[in-house]
């Protein structure tokens, strides 16, 4: 049976780079691209199959900022027998937060809650003790405890929704390990480093980044987090794919890093996470899930 890998946000950026590197590593995979827009995902699938004709590449349409879309996608995904690895996208990088159609904070729903619901729905496919599966959350070095509050975990009152959401993924990963390791599901957190993608171009225009490139390349001799390209940023994701999930430390965040000479490696760092806070946050998510399911009609 083919190993099944599900990747959200797989049609661009680090998600796409990870898919390419995965197939270069193992072209017998069943790679499932979970994307918001089919018109973008279909050419990506065709290109991947053209490069790796022995692979199986499928698409599921899902918008993690819309829970109806998440439930529809999970229904389609449940037709599969097993998922061996589930990797989440970079998420929504913005300080301009909005309210979604579900009545939730957009950054929180996109980066945390939509994926959480998808994991909950796919639990039977992910949990198989005889063959451990991996869940990988794409976090950030900007995931700061000071920007997160249990009393306002959607960050509706704060000014740092992205940082708060990424710290929330760190907490959630720790809690999931406490609750699911015995059932064969292991969660890890990664940071791809500073990568130039469509997300970073929302902060500064591409031509500004181009002007800054010589300075950034010089800084890379002193700061290893300037991975720059999606290919380099996906280094840690590929490394995790090669590991036994049960052998990984649940309190470590694994960072993609690049030397000044352009060599990629993985830099593990202990997370600033309190396990009791992680469990409380997990229980808050379960309570929110219960309220959401009671109000949303699932077609």
Q: What pLDDT is recorded for position 137? A: 96
Q: What is the dihedral of CA 199, 204, 208, 212, to 10 degrees?
A: -70
Q: What pLDDT is recorded for position 171? A: 97
Q: What angle do CA 288, 292, 293 make, to 5 degrees?
A: 120
Q: What pLDDT is recorded for position 225? A: 78
Q: What pLDDT is recorded for position 1? A: 77
Q: Which of 41, 49, 61, 60 is nearest to 20 (CA)?
A: 49
Q: What phi and psi values does residue 38 have, to the nearest 5 degrees?
A: -65, -35
185 three-class SS: strand
Predicted TM-score (pTM) of this structure: 0.90
| Residue 183, token pair as written in the block | 């059932």
The one catalytic residue in 162, 186, 231, 254 is 162
Q: What pLDDT is recorded for position 299? A: 43
| Residue 141: exposure state from Cβ atoms within 10 A (0-12, 13-18, ≥19) | middle
Q: What pLDDT is recorded for position 2? A: 86
Q: What pLDDT is recorded for position 22? A: 95
Distance CA 138, CA 255 (A): 10
Residue in the block written with tokens 């918008």:
63
167 part of the active site: no
Instruction: State the 10-residue block means of pLDDT for the chain, 299 residues long.
Output: 91 92 94 93 96 95 94 90 84 75 94 95 91 93 93 93 95 96 96 72 61 68 76 94 95 93 92 96 96 74
């Amino acid at each position: 049976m083919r190993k099944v890998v599900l990747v959200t946000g797989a049609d661009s950026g680090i998600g796409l780079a990870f898919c390419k590197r995965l197939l270069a590593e193992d072209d017998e995979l069943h790679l499932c691209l979970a994307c918001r827009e089919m018109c973008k995902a279909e050419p990506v699938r065709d290109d991947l199959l053209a490069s790796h004709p022995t692979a199986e590449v499928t698409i599921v349409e899902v918008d993690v900022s819309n829970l109806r879309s998440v439930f529809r996608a999970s229904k389609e995904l449940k037709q599969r027998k097993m998922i061996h690895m589930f990797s989440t996208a970079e998420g929504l990088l913005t300080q301009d937060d909005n309210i979604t159609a579900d009545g939730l904070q957009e950054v929180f729903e996109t980066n945390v809650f939509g994926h959480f619901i998808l994991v909950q729905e796919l639990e039977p496919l992910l949990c198989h003790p005889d063959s451990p599966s991996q869940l990988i959350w794409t976090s950030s070095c900007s995931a700061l405890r000071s920007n997160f509050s249990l009393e306002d975990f959607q960050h509706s009152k704060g000014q740092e929704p992205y940082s708060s959401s990424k710290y929330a993924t760190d907490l959630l990963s720790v809690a999931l390990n406490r609750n699911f390791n015995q059932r064969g599901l292991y969660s890890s957190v990664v940071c791809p480093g500073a990568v130039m993608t469509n997300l970073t171009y929302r902060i500064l225009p591409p031509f500004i980044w181009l002007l800054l490139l010589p300075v950034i390349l010089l800084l890379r001799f002193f700061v290893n987090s300037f991975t720059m390209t999606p290919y380099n940023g996906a280094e840690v994701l590929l490394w995790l794919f090669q590991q036994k999930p049960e052998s990984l430390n649940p309190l470590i965040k694994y960072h993609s890093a690049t030397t000044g000479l352009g060599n990629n490696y993985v830099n593990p760092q202990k997370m600033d996470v309190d396990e009791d806070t992680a469990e409380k946050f997990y229980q808050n998510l379960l309570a929110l899930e219960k309220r959401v399911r009671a109000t949303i009609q699932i077609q």
